[in-house]
Structure 1
C-alpha cells in the first residue's frame, strides 16, 4: 500500500444567471458517468468521472509522446533493445485524483501542483468556469486547532531573537555560530504531546518582524487531520492508502478509500 495526500479546497463555479457571480456547484452540474479522452498540447488525457451518493470522483491520467528514448534496457539482464513504443504512442503515467463532497462543498485534490490544470479539465468537460479556493485561517485560529506538532521549519534572518538574549544564546550554543548568518532550522518530533504554543506564537511574531522567513508548522488537529501553516496561512490535508499496480495507483482502490475516509471524518465530527 502507498500513501496519497489530498489537500482540501472549496470548488466554486461562475454563475451564468442573475445573482452572485460565484456559487457552489450542485449534483446536477456533473455527469453521472464519463470516460473520455482529451487532447492536450503534448499528448492526451484520459478523464474518468463517476458520480454516486453524496459525491463525484475524478481520475485523470495523462501522458505525452516526448521524451522518448530510442532504446529500453532490461533492469535484470541489462540488455538494450529498440524501444517498442512508437513515436505516436504515449503512456498515461501521471495521475490526478479529485473527490468533491456535495454535503460539505469540499473538494479533495491529490496533487496541489495541478490545481489550475484541474480547473481547465472541469471547464472542458462541463462548460462552466470553475475556481479552486484554499481554505485559509488566521494565525490564532491555527494555534487553537492544532493539537500536536510534528515539524517546525524556518530560516533565520541575521538578527534572529536579537531582543531576546536567552534565545540567541541558546541558538549560539546549539550551532556554535556567532556571526550574523542565515540558518535553516528543521525540527521534527514523533511525540503526540509536543505542542509548544508559546514558542509557535513567538515564531509567528518574529515572522511579522521579518526576523525569520519560510516558517512552516506541520501537525494534526483533534480529528487527526493534517494541518500545515505556511506564509501566514494554513490548509488542511488528509492521507489515504491505496494499492499500486506497475507503479500506478489502482483507480478503484483510490475511489473507495477516499470515500471511506471522508465518511469516517464526517462520523467523527458528528460525535
Structure 2
C-alpha cells in the first residue's frame, strides 16, 4: 500500500511553499496537481515521476471530484507515493478535508502538509496586513464559489462583520458580493482591494471604495484568479507593490482632493492612505 500526501503549494510564489511540501514533490512517484499550482514547482519532481493534471477552471473541470478521489485511491493501492498538490492550504476551501475523509474511509494512509493560504499571503503581497490594531482585530475568510445546492450566505451577518473580510474565488461573483453588502447596510465608502495572481510575477491589484470597486476592476482589467479584501486594512495597500493599478474616482477626475498617496473614496470622507 502506498500513501497520499495532501500538500499545500502556498499562494503562488514557489519560494513560499514549505520545506516539507517541496520535499514531498521531490520524492513522489505521482504528482496530482490543481490548475493554480505554479508550474515551476512541477520541475522539482524526479525524472521518472508521473504528472496528473486534475485542475478545475471556471466552467471546465478536467476531472470531477469523484474521479479525483477514485484516482488517488487507485494510485495508492498500486503502492505509489502520491503528492496531491493544491494551491494555498489544502484545508482552506481546497476540498482537502473531503479528500482526506474519502481516503481514510478506503483504508488509504493520508498525510497533510499545510500550506500558506492566499487569504493571508495574498493581501500581504500587496502590502495589506489582514489585521492591524487601528483597523482590524479579527478577520473572516469566505468562499465566493459554493456548490449549487448550498444555501445562500447570510449577507445580513456578513455585512455587519467587523475587521477584515476576505473572499476567495469570488471574482465571478463580485457584482453579487457588492450588491449584497450594500443592500445589507455596508457603507459605500468601505475600502475594498482586489489582488489577482497574488505573489506571482503576474500579480496585479487595485483599490477603491465599495461603491466604485467594480469600476476599478473593470478599468484595471483584473480577473480571476483573484481575492477580494473588504475592510479598513485595504486602505494600506502599497502603491509600489507589483502590478498596482491606481484608480481615480469621478470626484478625483473632476479635481477633488488628491495628493500623493492619499486618495478620497466615497461620500463618507474616508481616505485611502496607501503606503501609510
TM category, shorter: under 0.3
Which has the larger share of helix?
2
TM-score, normalised to structure 1, is 0.25
Which has the larger share of strand?
1
Instruction: Answer 1 or 2: higher relative contact order, Cα 8 Å, separation at least 6.
Output: 1
Answer with 1 or 2: which has the greater Rg. Answer: 1
